Amino acid sequence: MKTNAFPYAFFSGKVVPIEKASVSIMTNALQYGTGIFGGIRGYYNKNGSFLSIFRLSDHYRRFLNSINIIGVSIDFSHRELVDLTINLAKKNKPLTDAYFRPFAYASSLNLSPNLNSDSKFAFGLYMIPLGEYLPVDKGLSVMVSSWRRISDNAIPARAKVTGAYINSALARKEANDRGFDEAIFLTDDGHVSEGSAENLFIIRDGILTTPPKTDDILEGITRRTVLQLAKDNHIPVEERKIDRTELYIADEAFFSGTGVQVSWISKIDGRKIGHGKKGKVSSLLQDLFFKIVRGDEPKYSKWCTKLKM
């Protein structure tokens, strides 16, 4: 098995070489998508003296909330998850920016997707090097997907459930097949929800606007970060329902997410957003975001777990 992962993973309760961190083809999670995952970034600071893991504690809070939503459990507390992640980072000693992928899953080999008999999920964690997920500075060209976002009463988008990502994969495939960088989902009732793996912001008349938590979004840690930075910089903010046509007349638009970071959007459904250039508000928030995640903004150091490598 060839992989670009860092050499060690946490699997079956201990640190093992990544080649040993594998499961049977019969694994319930593989068959039915009965898993919960997370995605966390570690950034090198400017002079390379430490790795800064961004909002580690908040990511594991959401991870445990997701586990709670689907009504299962794992053997690790929040504190233990944070500690074992720090220990794995120290063991792998990455020399580049790194991405952490925690994963809780139904590990039994039972035939049916039964969360009662499989209520104790196994836990694993691995790390890979990660640069840009989508280009942060090109100006993304995106489309409104013909696929609708999963709804809270079908598969809760608020929980980061592995099986739910077939919804994302379908939208992303459609967008890429048609030459777009990414897709934007509408909810079942036709309001703007989010991207396939990122939250969405628009700026209209100086107001930073994003869909509410109740419009079938994943409650992004980066979304929460952007909202806080906007408030700290006296940018008016609204969390409210957004119509599709508001996208076309927005002055600026950008995605937020651990993978995508803060990436501005230049076109939606072929219509130029604003002047088709990166706008003032997007630039301000993007610049600040990148300074903070690299651990170079003391005011926000509470969000950064800094590890000397």
DSSP H stretches of helix in the chain: 28-32, 56-69, 78-92, 165-177, 221-232, 244-248, 280-293
**Is 208 among the residues that bind ligand PMP (CB under 6 A)?**
no
DSSP string, 134-200: S-SSS-EEEEEEEEEPPPTTTS-TTS-BGGGHHHHHHHHHHHHHTT-SEEEEEPTTSBEEEESSSEE
Q: Amino acid letter at 192?
A: V
Q: Looking at beta carbons only, is 118 or 194 nearer to ligand PMP? A: 194
Per the residue annotation, which of 138, 160, 267, 306 is the catalytic one?
160
Footprint on residues 16-55 left by ligand PMP (CB under 6 A): 39
Footprint on residues 148-187 left by ligand PMP (CB under 6 A): 168
Structure tokens at 286: 């993007």
Determine the Cα–Cα distance for residues 266 and 113; give it in Å rounded to an integer.
Answer: 42
Determine the Cα–Cα distance for residues 208 and 112; give it in Å rounded to an integer.
Answer: 45
Contact segment (CB under 6 A) with ligand PMP among 66-74, 140-148, 208-216, 217-225 equals 217-225
Q: Looking at beta carbons only, is 28 or 225 nearer to ligand PMP? A: 225
CB of residue 1 to ligand PMP, shortest distance in Å = 25
Q: Looking at beta carbons only, is 124 or 220 nearer to ligand PMP? A: 220
CB of residue 13 to ligand PMP, shortest distance in Å = 26
CB of 239 closer than 8 Å to CB of 192: no
Q: Amino acid letter at 57?
A: S
**Is 221 among the residues that bind ligand PMP (CB under 6 A)?**
yes
Q: Looking at beta carbons only, is 65 or 114 nearer to ligand PMP? A: 65
Q: Residues touching ligand PMP: how many (CB under 6 A)?
A: 15
Active site residue 160: yes
Footprint on residues 245-304 left by ligand PMP (CB under 6 A): 256-259
Determine the Cα–Cα distance for residues 254 and 66; give it in Å rounded to an integer.
Answer: 26
> Quick one: DSSP state of residue 13?
T
Residues in the chain: 309
Q: Looking at beta carbons only, is 128 or 309 nearer to ligand PMP? A: 128
Q: Among 210, 222, 266, 286, which residue interacts with ligand PMP (rule: CB under 6 A)?
A: 222
Q: Among 66, 187, 199, 305, which residue interacts with ligand PMP (rule: CB under 6 A)?
A: 199
CB of residue 197 to ligand PMP, shortest distance in Å = 4
Please tell me the chain's helix, strand, coil percentages from 3-state DSSP, rounded to the nearest 5.
30, 30, 40
CB of residue 44 to ligand PMP, shortest distance in Å = 19
CB of 122 closer than 8 Å to CB of 104: yes
**Sign (positive/negative) of CA torsion 229, 231, 236, 237?**
positive
**Is 70 among the residues that bind ligand PMP (CB under 6 A)?**
no
CB of residue 218 to ligand PMP, shortest distance in Å = 4
The footprint of ligand PMP (CB under 6 A) covers 39, 168, 194, 197-199, 218, 220-223, 256-259
Catalytic site positions: 160
